Amino acid sequence: VQLKRKHEIHFFKLIRNQNLMWTLLRSLLFLLPAELTHELAKFGMKWMSRVLFLHPIALPNPIGLAAGFDKNCEILEFLPALGFGSAEIGTVTPRAQAGNPKPRLFRDSKNKNLFNRMGFNNWGSLEIAKRLREVKPKLPANFIVGVNLGKNKDTPDENAANDYALVAKDFLDTADYFVINVSSPNTPGLRALQTPEKLTSIVEAVKVECEKSSKKIPLWVKLAPELTGETLKAIVLALQSARIDGFVLTNTVAGGFSHRGIEHTGGYSGKILTVTAFERLKEVKSYTSLPVISVGGIFDAKDVHERLKAGASAVQIYTGWVYGGPFLIRKLVRAWKKDQRA
Ligand SMILES: Cc1cc2nc3c(=O)[nH]c(=O)nc-3n(C[C@H](O)[C@H](O)[C@H](O)COP(=O)(O)O)c2cc1C
C-alpha cells in the first residue's frame, strides 16, 4: 500500500510539473507537420476559450505575441489568460489571399528555430476587422491589440502605399496601434520597400487614413534584421522625420531550407535571431529616442530582462513560445514583475 501511495504522489508531482508535461506533449505534437500543429494549437485555444473562464494576469505587461501567429484574429480571446499583455494580429492584406503552397512552415528543432515561407495567407481586411470588432469587447480593457499591415502579392510596388492605407482604414475603430510591415521575406519585392523614400510615402498614405479617426493611433514600422549600419540609420532618420511612433525590430532573417530534396527560400526565426535582434535594438536606440518593440529569439526571462534593460519599450515572442510551451508567458510575466519590485 505504501508503495502504491508513493507512486501516486510521484504521479501527481509529475502532472504538476508543467515543464515535464509540456516536454511530453511537445514530443507528440512535433511528430506532426509544423503547420498542422499550429492549426491544432489554435483549435485547442479557441475551444478552451469557450469552455473555460481564465483570469488574465498582470495587465498591463510588456510581453506581446508577435505578428503571424494569429493572423486572422482567431484566438485573441485566449491570449490574456496565457499571460500576454498585447498581441499583433496579421499581417493583414486588403484582399484575402491563400499564401504559398504547403508545406511552408518547418521546424529546425535542433537549433530551436522555425523556418517559414507562408506568404501572407490571411482572410483579408474586411473579414478580420469584423472579427476584431466582435472580439474586442470581450478582452480586458488594457489588453493592447496591434494590427500589422501588408500588401497583396499581386499589387504592383508603385501601388503598395495604397494597400497599407486600405487595410488601416478598416481598423480605425479597433486597432490600438498599426505596424507597417515591409520586412517579410516571403512576398516578392516587399523588402525593396525598405528605402527612406518608399517608406516615407507609405507612412504618409497610412497617416491620411489615421487622421480620419477621432483617436490617435500610433504608427510603427517593422524592419528586417539584415538592415544595419548607414542603410539602417538613413531609414530610421527618415522615418523619424515622417513622425512615426516607433520601430518593431526585427522580422525573420532570410535564408534557405532543404526539405525532402527541395530547396525552399523563406525566413528563419528563433535562436538564430537572439543576438542579431538584440544588436538591432541597441543600434536603433543609438540613432533615435523613438521607442522600440524588440522581437526575435526571445526564449526566457533573461532575454526579456536584457531587452528591456537595453531600452526596449516592450518585447514580442513567437518561436520561443512554440518551443517553450503554453505556460512560458505567465512565467516570463512573473519574472518581469519580480524584476520590477527589485
Ligand atoms: C510562421 C511565422 C509567420 C510569421 N508571419 C508574420 C507576419 O505575417 N507578419 C510579420 O510582421 N511577421 C511575421 N512573422 C515574424 C514574427 O512576427 C517575428 O518577427 C519573428 O518570428 C522573430 O521573432 P521570434 O524569434 O520570437 O519568432 C512570422 C513568423 C513565423 C515563424
Classify residue 224 by burial, with Cβ atoms within 10 Å: 0-12, 13-18, 19+. Answer: buried
Q: How many residues does the chain have?
A: 342
Classify residue 222 by burial, with Cβ atoms within 10 Å: 0-12, 13-18, 19+. Answer: buried
Confidence of residue 18 (pLDDT cuts 50, 70, 90): confident
Q: Is the minimum distance from the CB of 318 to ligand 1 under 6 angstroms?
A: yes
Provide the 10 A C-beta neighbour count for residue 208.
13
State yes or no: pLDDT of 113 exceeds 70: yes
How far is residue 229's CA from residue 280's CA, in Å, rounded to a whole number?
Answer: 10
Out of 252, 298, 303, give the residue to mutate to test ligand 1, the one with the largest number of ligand atoms within 8 Å of its CB: 252
Find the farthest-apart pair of alpha carbons in the chain and give their distance in angstroms, rounded: 77
State yes or no: pLDDT of 105 exceeds 60: yes
| DSSP-derived secondary structure letter, 136 | G
Please state whether 229 falls in left (phi above 0), alpha (psi between -120 and 50) or beta. Answer: left
Q: Is the minimum distance from the CB of 63 to ligand 1 under 6 angstroms?
A: no
pLDDT value, residue 87: 98
Average pLDDT over residues 162-170: 98
CB 236 within 8 A of CB 284: yes
Cα Rg, the chain, nearest whole Å: 20
pLDDT value, residue 8: 55
Atom 7 of ligand 1, residue of closest alpha carbon: 68
State yes or no: pLDDT of 53 exceeds 70: no
Q: How far, in Å, is the centroid of ligand 1 from the Cα of 62?
A: 18
State yes or no: pLDDT of 9 exceeds 60: no
pLDDT value, residue 57: 79
State yes or no: pLDDT of 12 exceeds 90: no
Confidence of residue 52 (pLDDT cuts 50, 70, 90): low
Atom 6 of ligand 1, residue of closest alpha carbon: 68
Q: How far, in Å, is the centroid of ligand 1 from the Cα of 65?
A: 10
pLDDT value, residue 10: 59
Confidence of residue 47 (pLDDT cuts 50, 70, 90): confident
Q: How far, in Å, is the centroid of ligand 1 from the Cα of 201?
A: 24
How far is residue 242's CA from residue 236's CA, in Å, rounded to a whole number?
Answer: 10
Average pLDDT over residues 93-115: 97
Q: Is the minimum distance from the CB of 298 to ligand 1 under 6 angstroms?
A: yes
Out of 104, 117, 269, give the residue to mutate to test ligand 1, the one with the largest number of ligand atoms within 8 Å of its CB: 269
20-24, 28-32, 51-55, 161-165: range with highest mean pLDDT:
161-165
| DSSP-derived secondary structure letter, 174 | T
Element (DSSP H or E) covering residue 148: strand 144-149
Tracing cell 512565467 back to the chain, one arrives at 331
| DSSP-derived secondary structure letter, 315 | E
Q: How far, in Å, is the centroid of ligand 1 from the Cα of 91?
A: 9
Q: At what angle do helices 301-309 and 274-287 cross, to 10 degrees?
A: 20
Residue 184 annotated among the catalytic residues of the structure: yes
Q: Is the minimum distance from the CB of 272 to ligand 1 under 6 angstroms?
A: no
Q: Is the minimum distance from the CB of 181 to ligand 1 under 6 angstroms?
A: yes
pLDDT value, residue 144: 98
Q: Is the minimum distance from the CB of 146 to ligand 1 under 6 angstroms?
A: no
The answer for residues whose C-beta is within 8 angstroms of residue 4's C-beta and 6 or more apart is none
Average pLDDT over residues 213-241: 98
Mean pLDDT over each residue of the chain, to the nearest integer? 94
Q: Which of 184, 213, 269, 313 is catalytic?
A: 184
pLDDT value, residue 56: 77
pLDDT value, residue 228: 98
Q: How far, in Å, is the centroid of ligand 1 from the Cα of 316?
A: 10
pLDDT value, residue 13: 60
User: Could you report the per-residue pLDDT of 247-271, keeping only the tens digit for each?
Assistant: 999 999 999 999 999 999 999 999 9
State yes or no: pLDDT of 222 exceeds 60: yes
Q: Is the minimum distance from the CB of 93 to ligand 1 under 6 angstroms?
A: no
- Quick one: what percent of the chain has pLDDT higher than 90? 87
**CA-to-CA dists, residue 149 to 17, 80, 184, 231, 300, angstroms:** 40, 23, 11, 23, 28
Average pLDDT over residues 175-198: 97
Confidence of residue 340 (pLDDT cuts 50, 70, 90): very high
Ligand 1 atom showing the smallest separation from residue 248 Cα? 19
Ligand 1 atom showing the smallest separation from residue 222 Cα? 11
Going by C-alpha positions, the residue among 148, 6, 84, 161 that lies closest to residue 316 is 84
Atom 4 of ligand 1, residue of closest alpha carbon: 68
Ligand 1 atom showing the smallest separation from residue 179 Cα? 11
pLDDT value, residue 20: 83
Q: Is the minimum distance from the CB of 49 to ligand 1 under 6 angstroms?
A: no
